[in-house]
Chains A and B, each alone.
Chain A
Amino acid sequence: MKQLIELTINNRVYEVPVSPKDLLADVIRDKVGLTGTKKGCGQGDCGACTVLIDGNPVLSCLTLAIACQGRKITTIEGLVAEDGQLHPIQQAYVDHGAVQCGFCTPGMILTSKALLDRNPKPSEEEIKRGISGNICRCTGYKKIVEAIFAAGETISTEGVK
């Protein structure tokens, strides 16, 4: 049943043996070893497993790995620059106190990235709407919204290094 497929994750090609039923979240975590992608509910309700596929935020717990061949997958591990510098969104989350337990953080940051890629200067309302599929139980979202707003400013003035 298993077959070898190629997955492009964070600009690197991985050859992984998968069954058709294997979910992207499990393959990324268990076979590729990128455990930054989290599983909070398994039903698409919490957003912790969000990854970007061709730039769009996608729930990896409801995506078949086999269906992702030939697509560009970005996980949280793919955001840091080659020199180790944090992506402006990551830096803003740290600086604004938008991280508490951190379990929602990878998915939240990737959703933020998809939002800012589409709309670099979102309004507060647009940010809230954009991240409403990512549940955070710790922060009350306020500092997350502030971080995204600040990251948008940084990216539009300085760009992403």
Chain B
Amino acid sequence: MYLNNFEYFAPETPGEALDLVARMGNKAKVLAGGTDLLIMMKEKMIQPEYLIDINNVKEFKGISYEPGKGAVIGAATKISEVEHSPVIRDKYFALHQAAGELGSAQVRAMATIGGNSCHASPAAETPTPLVAFGAKIVISSVSGDRELPLEEFILGNRKNALAEGELLTQFILPEPAPKSASRYWYIGLRDAMEIDAVNMAVNMVLENDGRTVKDLRLVMGSVSPRPLVSVEVPGILVGKEFNSELVEKAAQAAAGEAKPISDIRASAEYRREVTAVLARRLLQQAFDAAREV
């Protein structure tokens, strides 16, 4: 279980980092948390010639929030920082939950929010709520930055939209709407260290009446090669008064939209069934929470 030989770079400024990424191209891998990358290297799935460690670039780290504008999270921010951030807990609760359920305390102290999206595992925790919040990402390169909705960045199992010479540097989360709330949960065999059979995030906005759904995003993980944004659930609930009959209809719709596969963790049928359960529970929880806002 030894790694291949590689050259190691630890840039300290964004400029240095982007310059290295540009120069090394596909022969390099970016080292953020390393909890996925180094395992892939140990198993000889990849053997990069260069590793560019971005942990010393301060500009890529940290969480900032401006009322009315939203939050910006540096791509190299550790999951544990996201988990423990008061502003994330207050404003983006589903992301706080997902960060807290990712791996173990050790993995959370090492892994980064950018790595979690770049690795593009279908079972990844944080992309699900991030997509539910309508997060955009900033992709940087020596020739400048471009922005992309996160759902367009994750293309499939271990595939992302980074072109050669590009680096994911930020997540931009819009200010949550008034009277809105979000919830995340997952289904797995154990209560820790799980690869989720299904995970899901719901971000719901209510009208001032506290009953009518104004806007809604329901995103599913682990039931499709990439975060799956439900089209049907908002169609069923938005503009309607929230009630259990509609929730049931929405839950079934979500299950219908899911495209799960069978693997060693769960069968497709089971995944589909519990997708409906998660949807039902999370819609209710988000609704209850939004009413309290």
Interface residues of A, Cβ cutoff 8 Å to B:
1, 19-21, 23, 42-45, 47, 50, 56-59, 62-64, 66-67, 111, 114-115, 129-134
Total contacting residues, chain B, CB less than 8 A: 30
Chain A CB within 10 Å, residue with most, of B104, B109, B191: B104
Given A19-B5, A21-B3, A133-B104; A62-B35 close (CB under 8 Å): yes
* Min CB gap A21→B, angstroms: 4
Given A21-B3, A56-B80, A63-B34; A44-B53 close (CB under 8 Å): no
Q: How many A-B residue pairs have CB under 8 A?
A: 82
0/1 interface trace, chain B 103-122, chain A, CB 8 Å (1 if under)? 11111011000000000000
Inter-subunit contact A59/B106 (CB<8 Å): yes
Q: Supply 13 further A-B pairs (C-beta < 8 A) apart from A20-B5, A20-B51, A115-B105.
A: A21-B3, A21-B5, A47-B106, A50-B106, A57-B106, A57-B109, A59-B106, A62-B38, A63-B38, A66-B8, A129-B192, A132-B192, A133-B103
**Which A residues lie within 8 Å of B110 (CB)?**
58-59, 62-63
**Which A residues lie within 8 Å of B80 (CB)?**
56
* Min CB gap A92→B, angstroms: 19
> Looking at the complex, which one of B4, B35, B39, B107 makes contact with A21 (CB distance below 8 Å)?
B4
Given A47-B104, A67-B55; A58-B5 close (CB under 8 Å): no
- Is there a chain A Cβ closer than 8 Å to B209's Cβ? no
- Is there a chain A Cβ closer than 8 Å to B193's Cβ? yes
Task: Determine the distance from Cα of A115 to Cα of B104 in the docked complex, in whole angstroms.
Answer: 12
